[in-house]
Amino acid sequence: MVRVIQISDTHLSPSKQHFEANWGPLARWIGQHKPDLVIHTGDVTVDGADQETDAAYCAAQLASLGVPVVAVPGNHDVGEVGNPHQPVNSERLDRFRRHFGDDRWLRDADGWRLIGLNSMIFGGGSEDARQTEWLEAAMADAAGRRLAWFTHRPLFIESPTEADTGYWSVKPEPRRALLDLLQRYRVEIVACGHLHRWHEIRLNGTHYVWGPAAGFLVGQKLAPPMGGAARLGAVVYDIDGENIDVSIRPVPGLTDYWIDDVVHEVYPPREAEA
């Protein structure tokens, strides 16, 4: 059996340590569960998109787990397409890759191929086109393995055909292209972070998993109503051949911090980039 643990949205920083107290319990819990691989589904950092020290600090924290770790970037790690304050660009992507490794990757585990995608470049021109070409090749040569995607931002909130949800999910145009690939190659699991909620959706043969945050929760002052529950935790994937057991679990010792209470300190208003 292969055990994979998904963690998400730790939001760590050496200077803004508002959620730092949750790292110790999470790291101990991971050690107790003895995973073969840890997948971080983004927002590792408070502001790795602009702060080299945040990226370096968080990379060291992940390395301290003592097990193989891969990560996909979140918006706070590399910025995002169309964001006037932190647009994703080569400098931000290079910083992530330097500290955390490739922003897209694959790992084979028994009868499964696990694929990590950079959702911050969806709809973003040449970087997105190169990733899409790579993704098709990764799925085409999976040699019969079942497929799972790991991203930061979810493909949708309520429905694959929903309108633009702004900050919260992938834009409709790139979403349509991704859903076409998902259906063509029969992707069975799509796991994300970003929403800071604990939720599962099963639709048209695909199991959508919202991996809960480990850093903080988001209240209704900042987030629209959506499914699932505002709970901290992690996800365990136990893989045995082609079989997989997916379990969203609480992590003992995590404190329910709410970003609503400190957002003005952690993420103060920014000027748009020139």
Model confidence pLDDT, tens digit, residues 198-229 = 999 999 999 999 999 999 999 988 999 999 99
The alpha-carbon radius of gyration of the chain (Å, integer) is 17
Q: How confident is the model at residue 39 (pLDDT cuts 50, 70, 90)?
A: very high
For the chain, give the number of residues. Answer: 274
Q: pLDDT at residue 88 above 80?
A: yes
Alpha-carbon distance 148 to 167, whole Å?
24
Q: What is the pLDDT of residue 221?
A: 86
Structural contact between residues 239 and 111, judged by C-beta atoms closer than 8 angstroms: yes
Domain 2-266 has CATH 3.60.21.10: yes
Supply 181's token pair: 């690939």
The CA–CA distances, whole Å, from 168 to 4, 155, 172, 192, 252 equal 26, 9, 12, 12, 28
pLDDT (mean) for 222-249: 96
Residue 125's pLDDT band (cuts 50, 70, 90) = confident
Can you give the pLDDT at residue 239? 98
Inform me whether the pLDDT recorded for 191 exceeds 80. Answer: yes
Domain ranges of the chain: 2-266
pLDDT at 274 over 70: no
3-state helix, strand, coil in the chain (%, to 5): 30, 25, 50
**Token pair for 49:** 């998109």
98 has pLDDT over 70: yes
Helix axes 90-100, 52-63, angle to 10 degrees: 30
pLDDT band for position 270 (cuts 50, 70, 90)? confident
